[in-house]
Structure 1
Amino acid sequence: MPGIEKREFINLFNEMFQPIKNYVYYKVGDIEVAEDIAQDTFAKVWEKRREIRQSTIKSLLYTIANNLCKNRFEHQQVVYEFANNYDRNQWDVSPEFELELKEFNTKLQNEIARLTEKNRTVFLMNRIDGYTYNEIADNLGISVKAVEKRMKNALTDLKKTIKHKF
């Protein structure tokens, strides 16, 4: 029967939190970020506790932690690219406009972060990294139709939230 119970989860946390935190620290080089990602890793495991098999739990922890590191890195790339591509001297803009643009960017980043992991990954690979749907499908080991569906879902979700929040 798949799943882990509360006491098993506590034991797993006590046994594996430090190794997962160390693993993330080696990847990101920031102890506070490593602790946050390790905590998020265990939060995801807790959310999926009924579906998890005991035999694969440790490798699952490392996989989740690795994916969270990748997501953080991709988010940093988005911020970096925007900062480097935005030349504020290009236009004569008011401080109010700059503030609104900064707020919009922050809200947009938050909405991208709220997308499901699958949809967010496809969206960022296409819109930030410039991969084609075929390249994304090859990299993720899924069909082009699945990529198309995930992109459509991501764009639909972002469009809805942008209309309502902005």
Structure 2
Amino acid sequence: MEKELETTVCEERIFESLYRKLSKSIHDFLYYKYGSNCNPNDTTQEAFLKLWKNCDTVSPAKAKSFLFTVANNMVLNHLKHEKVKLNYQKATTKTHTNVSPEFIMQEAEFLEKYNAVLANMKEEYRVAFLLSKAENKKHKEIAELLDVTVKVVEYRVHKAFTILKEQLEGFSIK
């Protein structure tokens, strides 16, 4: 009993002895229980690596139990992960919408018209409008960026909005 307390798995000769004695048994256990899909060679090696990392907390008497438990848990975790991946792959992705093809076509046409009106708009109106509506900047921020007053920004955004309403049927912003 005293000899057991003095030796630890961290000693190279004991670890090597455990490896020689148990590695084939762990490999065979994993292979027979889970098959070759669980990669028993790698799992056995990883179990021994975990033993080495925890060598100061695992006594030589409990090393066998530790190794089998760790190896088994590694395989179970791997299988669980594979199941999650499989479920994710099986999950149906939405490939259709409730929107009619006619609506999609009208939306594309409207976007083309909208971009054309914006392109033909004076730059000062377009810039103020896009900063306000597309980038959600406050009028004060826009005024600082453009080096103009807040009233000028308000006028430019309003003027751009008016041009869009005149040239685009059904245009409104909330």
- Return the structure number with greater helix share: 1
Q: State the structure with more CA Rg.
A: 2
- TM-score w.r.t. the length of structure 1 is 0.50
